[in-house]
A = this chain, B = another copy of it.
Amino acid sequence: MKALVIEDDVNIAELLRIYLEKEGFEVRLAADGEKGVGEAKSFSPDIVLLDIMLPVMDGWAVCKSIRKISKVPIIMLTAKGETADKVKGLELGADDYMTKPFESKELIARIRAVLRRYGKDAAGGRVLEFDRLVINMDAYELIVDGKKIDTPPKELELLFHLASSPNRVYTRNQLLDEVWGFDYFGDSRTVDVHIKRLREKLENVSDKWTLKTVWGVGYKFETAGD
């Protein structure tokens, strides 16, 4: 799965590269619009991330040019507050729209969503199923016995993260970094509270899995069969 990033700010471009490579993408960077269009031809990416503010040829023009030669999904990147541009971008053939500064999770989620619309999803890990339980991060839904359970986003993200690697222990700080974000600065007891609320929602659902405390270490999503 290949991703092309068209972005003149090196720091942001490299940050995107890190996020994407962690997700298993092969990444190529282009620092201006012309190069970007060129790479769109020769590299034939599966997805394009395109900054609006570019030197020489702006994002809109690049978007138009790429659309002439390819149906590759395009996600536009823009500075905060320019909401009006959204419509313009979508008219020109962009598939989604993201505001800087963005979070890795958000970005990845959108990329997955766009790719799915194109039927190209990368071996999706966005939906997990366990006995009587479904965690669907595409719809942000928690489902028990086919019945939706109203769950706030953070709780769901935490559960999803733990359930992504069953039986593996995560420390509170790990969870804060990986679910809340690297730059989050807060009390690690916050995790406890979310765990408690998840347990309330999930108690007595199944004996094949459970949210377990590993005393002195952290939490894990424990499965029986494994």
Contact = CB atoms under 8 A, between A and B. Distances in A.
Nearest to A97: B182
Residues of A contacting B: mostly: mixed
Interface in A1-59: 11-12, 14-15, 18, 22
Contacts of A113: 174
Tell me how many chains of this kind the complex includes: 2
Given A14-B92, A83-B185, A183-B86, A139 B167 contact: yes
Nearest to A153: B216
> In the complex, which range does the number of interface residues on chain A fall in?
35 or more
A173 B182 CA distance: 23
Contact of A93 (B14, B90, B185): B14
A105 B171 contact: yes
A138 B11 contact: no
A140 interface: yes
A84 interface: yes
Nearest to A84: B183
